[in-house]
Structures are given as structure tokens and as C-alpha cells.
Amino acid sequence: MAHPTQLGFQDAASPVMEELLHFHDHALMIVFLISTLVLYIIVAMVSTKLTNKYILDSQEIEIVWTVLPAVILVLIALPSLRILYLMDEINDPHLTIKAMGHQWYWSYEYTDYENLGFDSYMIPTQDLTPGQFRLLETDHRMVVPMESPIRILVSAEDVLHSWAVPSLGVKMDAVPGRLNQTAFIASRPGVFYGQCSEICGANHSFMPIVVEAVPLEHFENWSSLMLEDA
């Protein structure tokens, strides 16, 4: 999860988020190179009194500064489109979970099971135990098996919400009357935090998302216990 004074993204916990981090570094390096070149030209033009008459009217340099930005845009657009299609790819999910946004909590339904669903509320500050995070912990975590394709169906019951977990590279709007879907693969075990990312009312800041990725055997034990308690 994020920590104070952090400048970069959270550590990637899914293949898509790793691709997004690589693309971010790729695009940022291009921005640095462009900024350096522009800064050098500005400094050179301000600090020198010499003028090159061939730069003032040159077909060659006009061709260069027209073609070069187009090439740079292509170098940014191609990997961007690749990741865009990867994020929309949902192949044979092993598990489907429906996440419903409410004011102001989330409810989860494991549609592959007959009666496995629960509401997930934020734990109040006064009820937190040592080691838990304020405004991020929930009374019920969304438990998923690691290294398995998970499909998330996202909707809302009242107003617009947004189901987002940064370290998994997932963000999907929850729209009343509409069912959106996204997918992710948790590449390692862990607990991953997110929050509603759409202004949804007075308690918008108090509907966190907690995804716990565990080995398949542990997930089967958890689901069995949940079904027994249902």
C-alpha cells in the first residue's frame, strides 16, 4: 500500500499493473527528454546573441520538427493501445464476484456459489486493533485465490461509485442500472487496499475496499467456512 512521502506508484500485484508501471516509466522518460531539449533551446536562444540565418528559414528543420513529434506520439500510442486491450481481455475466469456499491459500503456476491455473499463496512477508528489502517480496514475482506483470473461485475444500488484497487491496476465505475465488468490476476499473496474513487455523498471517504489474495487451498477453506456460517 502507499506510504507517506511516496513519489511513485504502489508495488504492482498483477500483470496488468506491471505493464502500466512499465508504460509510465516509458512515457515519463520521453517527457524528460522533450523537456531537456526544450530547456536547452530556450537557454541557448536567451544566452547567445548570434543568429544562424539558415535556422530562420530552413525547410529541413521544419520537416524534422514536424515528423519527430509524430514519431514520438506513435511510440507512446502503440504500447498504450496494447495495454488498453490487455485490460479489456477476460479469458475463462476461474471466479466471478459481483461488487455492489451502496451509500456507503460495498457488498460482494460470489456468483459461482449458491449462497456466498456479505456486506463490507469500514471499521470505525475506535474499533481498530494495533496494525490496522485507519479508513482502510473493513469488517469483511474480499478473499480471492492468487494466480487465478478473477472477473469483477460492478454496479451500484443508489448513486455513482467506483471500485478501485491501485496495486491490482483495477478501477471500474459502479453505475446504477448498469453492470460493468473488469478482471485481474493477483500474482502474489497479500492484502491490497482501495477506496471508492467517485464522489458519492457525505461519507464517500468511508467506503474502503480490501482484497485479500490467498493460495487456492486457503481460499477453498475460507469459502467452506463462509458457506457453513451462511
The CATH class for the domain spanning 13-49+56-86 reads mainly alpha
Which residues, at least 6 apart from 227, have a Cβ–Cβ distance to it below 8 Å? 113, 114, 115, 116
CA 132 – CA 122 distance, rounded (Å): 12
Domain boundaries, the chain: 13-49+56-86, 93-227
- For position 91, what pLDDT does the model report? 83
Q: What is the pLDDT of residues 23-59, one digit of tens each?
A: 999 999 999 999 999 999 899 888 887 777 776 677 8
All three cell numbers of 124, joined, read 470505525
Domain 93-227 class, CATH top level: mainly beta
- Report whether 170 contacts 114 (CB < 8 A): no
Do residues 227 and 116 lie in contact, with contact meaning Cβ atoms separated by under 8 Å?
yes
CA neighbor of 194 nearest in space, from 162, 222, 149, 227: 162
Residue with cell 517527457: 31
Split at pLDDT 50, 70, 90, the class of 230 is low
Tens-digit pLDDT profile for residues 100-157? 999 999 999 999 998 899 999 999 999 999 989 999 999 999 999 999 999 999 999 9
- The model's confidence at residue 1, banded by pLDDT at 50, 70 and 90, is confident
Query: Is this prediction's pTM over 0.95?
Result: no
Distances (CA, A) of 19 to 24, 121, 196: 9, 32, 23
